[in-house]
Amino acid sequence: MRSSLRELNGPARQLALLHGVDGIGVGMYVAGSAVYLTQVTGLTAAQIGLALSAAGLTGLLASVLFGILADRVGARPLLSWLLILLGAGYLMLPLVHAAWQFALLSVVIGALQFGTGPSFTSLIAELVPDDGRARARAVIRSVGNASMGLGTLAAAVVLGIGSHAALQLFPLINAATFVVAGLLVRRLPANAARPAPPAGGRFTALRDLPFLRVVAVNSVLSLHDSVLAVAIPLWILVGTGLPTLLTPLLIGTNTVLCVLLQVRAAQGTEDVAGATRAARRAGAAAALACLLLTPSGNLAPWAAGILVCGGFLAMTAAELWHAGASFGLGIALAPPERRGEYLGAFQLHHGIQSIVGPLVLTSFIGGGSGLGWAAAAGLFVLAAVLVGPAVRSAGARHLLPAAQPAAAVD
């Protein structure tokens, strides 16, 4: 992580540093939250799932609303307050002892978390020169993955201790890292006030159909998240009979590769044409991964293991290329005067994927048939074919030349 930070200068390094700080807390909390919420808070799995689904739905609207707010009050002050309020939210978690309390707090935290995305990306656009944005965002993502890995290791230590007092560290450390990150935002340079967005009605981005087509295609491409986190682990269990130990080994490999290769995968995404090519590569790699997995349920364990590992690595490549493509397209298609609003709308692909992805993919492969993987491959091929026309249509809508410099968005 230190070597990645050395690649950046000035505000970009500060942005990577604060992202690394909150990544440690997030990684630790994600790794230990299931144990904390069941053993300390006393919630059931169903109650946790329902609350998190409600938080995801709230976040879909919150990302656009906070994006609009970023255009009006400024990305830097808004991001600082959102991170500090997130810290306050996690500080309240030890006080939660009922399902309705957790649901209410989850909705608030979900809205705040989705709201940070447009502000963070807007700051990259404001503070990093055009020709360095894509690389800077890739380094920042690499730092974030590395710090989340450190947080996961810290969670393993806490879980090993296992006492009630030790488990309280999960929300408390996450809260502290959010507050520290929020304070670090205030050390970033303050840009001059921007003029108010031109009159054009409310929720302009949500009425921009060419732009929303890009968001829809991007939602399909981002299904790699659900494949890596949900579908392949489930397939290992119900489709192949391979040892479950393979899942954490593969996820750990994914984390390492995302740290080491994200900057290289983002090369060439500095303009719209390059970002579109990376998106097509992501769709092709994801389709290949699914095709490798298709026959793996009917083979000997050693052969199934080779195909599953190959499919997982191909899907990791899809994740890396899609991240680079998404970084470039998000800013390129966002009008500068409504940058926060459009970035908030672009971020909808995260929420759509997280809500729809597990449901669709588990229905495809939950019965143990490899044909579901073939259907998933078809979805990725369709997205790879449609992304070019969708981007060209949205680019023409905003009068963008094909080689306009692009920046990173997550």
The answer to whether residue 35 sits within a structural domain is: yes
In this model, does residue 200 exceed pLDDT 70? no
pLDDT of residue 395: 76
Does residue 306 sit in the same domain as residue 392? Answer: yes
Mark whether 368 and 230 lie in a shared domain.
Answer: yes
pLDDT number for residue 25: 94
Mean pLDDT along residues 363-392: 89
pLDDT score at 354:
79
Percentage above 70 pLDDT, the chain: 91
Q: Write down which residue in 185, 214, 247 finishes a domain.
A: 185
Mean pLDDT for the stretch of residues 227-232:
88
Domain end (from 185, 216, 233)? 185
- Reported as a single tens digit per residue, the pLDDT across 149-188 is 899 889 889 988 989 899 999 999 999 999 999 999 999 9
Q: Which of 65-79, 208-222, 366-380 has the lowest mean pLDDT?
A: 366-380
- Number of independent structural domains in the chain: 2
Do 181 and 317 share a structural domain? no
Quick one: 164 and 31 in the same domain?
Answer: yes
**Nearest residue to 115 (alpha-carbon basis) of 156, 150, 167, 80:** 80
- Domain with 219 in it: what CATH number? 1.20.1250.20
pLDDT in tens, 182-191: 999 999 987 6
What is the reported pLDDT for 31? 83
Instruction: Classify residue 196: in a domain, yes or no.
Output: no
Q: Is residue 132 part of a domain?
A: yes
Q: What is the pLDDT of residue 313?
A: 97
Residue 132 is encoded by which pair of tokens? 């360095």
Domain assignment present for 193: no
Do residues 20 and 167 share a domain?
Answer: yes
Residue 151 shares a structural domain with residue 225: no
pLDDT number for residue 370: 81
Nearest to 257 by CA among 327, 179, 205, 319: 319
Same domain as 373, residue 334: yes
Using one digit for the tens of pLDDT, what is the confidence trace for 296-329? Answer: 988 999 999 999 999 999 999 999 999 999 988 9
Which carries the bigger pLDDT value, residue 161 or residue 337?
161
Residues 210 and 181 in one domain: no
Same domain, 107 and 238: no
pLDDT tens digits along 48-107: 878 887 887 888 888 889 999 998 889 999 999 999 999 999 999 999 999 999 999 999
Q: Do 386 and 353 have their domain in common?
A: yes
Residue 102 falls within a domain, yes or no? yes
**pLDDT at 230 (0 to 100):** 83
- pLDDT class for 368, splitting at 50, 70, 90? low
Question: Which residue segment(s) compose the domain that 48 sits in?
Answer: 9-185
Report the Cα 135 to chain-centroid distance in Å.
Answer: 17
For residue 405, being part of any structural domain is answered with: no
Report if residue 192 sits inside a domain.
no
Residues 63 and 109 in one domain: yes
198 found inside a domain: no
Same domain, 124 and 91: yes
Question: How far, CA to CA in Å, does 158 sit from each of 105, 257, 346?
Answer: 24, 25, 37
Q: What are phi and psi of 405, to 5 degrees?
A: -55, 140
